[in-house]
Structure 1
């Protein structure tokens, strides 16, 4: 954990809700689109609360053993190695499971006794159950607009958690974020934000995600490296969004309109 607070600009009451949930030892569910600041928010909260942060990027192949731990061979001996969730439980850290619905449901079931009044983690292979150390907090996130019906949190998991909803910030706040994070001028940040807002208003098939605050920061940083603004926006914003030529052409029209050469 660094001594400097990670930059995070609140857009509502999310900080108050998180800190209240932490004080009452309640797990937290963060919902919102990709790149809107959920991870940075958790980093800022960990800093404010003085707790170490352990982050896990969830994926299809994530197993219970990946979270809890497993026996490994080391130097001819079999040794138990804690997984990230177990380390957080033992040390009283904040454990952040990013995009938790990407993990298999049989994996996330292990969270249930941690997420209710028990605050316990059963470790079957060791034959023991750990009680979470003071300071432990379970935080999970996902993007409800991106997930399919087959990839969603079980109701039994949702109802154990305090929910905080995120979205892209207002224009003024987002301009401030892009400026602060990239070091670019306010004018460049404003141009990028307005271009992103135009993309977010599009209603066309072929775009599963829209332009996040994260990609705007990347585009602004490219301009700081000397790339012209339209080229920076093409590389950091437009190109990653779609492989569909028709959609790409539509985005190119928007680019020429909002960020002309």
Structure 2
């Protein structure tokens, strides 16, 4: 079966503002076909960065949103029973290895550890993928690259990558942009004035300062963009902040009150 590579290409340039030298460093990793791991909090731009790099390198991108119910078959493929017999269907990892795509496993620690083991042969000198059920050994396309991401803030003994997996990757640490860069991102993404974007960033910083003091995770850049879009659509700024920034991240009454007061002070 012929695979339509064009469907996996990123057609339009994703908006991405570098925080450092990550673009050049990723290009070096790709030139050497090194597997890459990106780490950072929710909504800080990890997925946008990978999408941007796929566009910049003009490589197809296949993204897999990992979850605790994902099996190895979900990644590599399975036989399907049809009226006239069985037919093998490649999984996303197998497809990427065949066509030379960047395969992005988003939040990989959400998958079971016995599932992530299947990536090991693709992340060392072998660059192969055994399809045991099919009796086939795939040698990865020369352009294939594996990328994984996860949020270290959610790590636990039950949900972490094994050292045998971690030490197969070059790694990037991501964090929320600094205030000036995040202000520029909000202004560009939502089409709002820089002054308003700056106020939203202050709300975000107030919440991030509570991480570990009642909040598991701070307000992401993604949520700040949501709030900005609501305000740009005519929603009252304080209402937009409560709706997009506070209510999604906590149900704790004290934390809500603290953040609501911060919003009133910033937008009052």
TM-score bracket relative to the smaller structure: over 0.9
User: Cα offset for 1:73?
Assistant: 1.9
User: Cα offset for 1:3?
Assistant: 3.5
User: Cα offset for 1:39?
Assistant: 0.3
For residues 20-72 of structure 1, what are the alpha-carbon distances to aligned partners after superposition, in whole Å with 9 as ceiling and x for unaligned?
Answer: 11110110000000000000000000001111100000010010000000011
Question: Is residue 2:206 matched to residue 1:198?
Answer: yes
CA contact (8 A) 2:211 2:218 kept: no
1:252 to 227, 252, 260: 260
Moved more, 54-63 or 177-186: 177-186
Q: Structure 1: where are the runs of 5+ without partners?
A: none
Q: Structure 2: where are the runs of 5+ without partners?
A: 1-8
Moved more, 86-95 or 238-247: 238-247
Give distance in 2, aligned partners of 1:214 and 1:22: 27
Question: Is residue 2:194 matched to residue 1:186?
Answer: yes
Q: Which residue of 2 aligns with 1:38?
A: 46
Q: Which residue of 2 aligns with 1:91?
A: 99
User: Cα offset for 1:243?
Assistant: 1.0
Q: Which residue of 2 aligns with 1:59?
A: 67
SS of 1:117's partner is: coil
Question: Is residue 2:120 matched to residue 1:112?
Answer: yes
For residues 155-178 of structure 1, what are the alpha-carbon distances to aligned partners after superposition, in whole Å with 9 as ceiling and x for unaligned?
Answer: 011111000000011111101111
User: Cα offset for 1:2?
Assistant: 3.9
Question: Is residue 2:173 matched to residue 1:150?
Answer: no
Give distance in 2, aligned partners of 1:248 and 1:75: 56
Structure 1 residues 161, 88: CA separation in 2 closer, same or farther (over 3 Å shift)?
same
CA RMSD of aligned residues (A): 1.1
CA contact (8 A) 1:204 1:247 kept: no
- Structure 1's consecutive aligned runs of 4 or more residues displaced over 6 angstroms after TM superposition are none
CA contact (8 A) 1:30 1:165 kept: yes
Question: Is residue 2:136 matched to residue 1:128?
Answer: yes
Structure 1 residues 145, 7: CA separation in 2 closer, same or farther (over 3 Å shift)?
same
User: Cα offset for 1:206?
Assistant: 3.5
User: Cα offset for 1:238?
Assistant: 0.5
Q: Which residue of 1 aligns with 2:243?
A: 235
Structure 1 residues 188, 162: CA separation in 2 closer, same or farther (over 3 Å shift)?
same
CA contact (8 A) 1:195 1:259 kept: no
SS of 1:113's partner is: helix
Count of residue correspondences:
260
Q: Which residue of 2 aligns with 1:100?
A: 108
Q: Scaled by the length of structure 2, what TM-score is found?
A: 0.94
SS of 1:140's partner is: strand
Question: Is residue 2:46 matched to residue 1:50?
Answer: no
Q: Which residue of 1 aligns with 2:185?
A: 177
2:220 to 206, 212, 215: 212
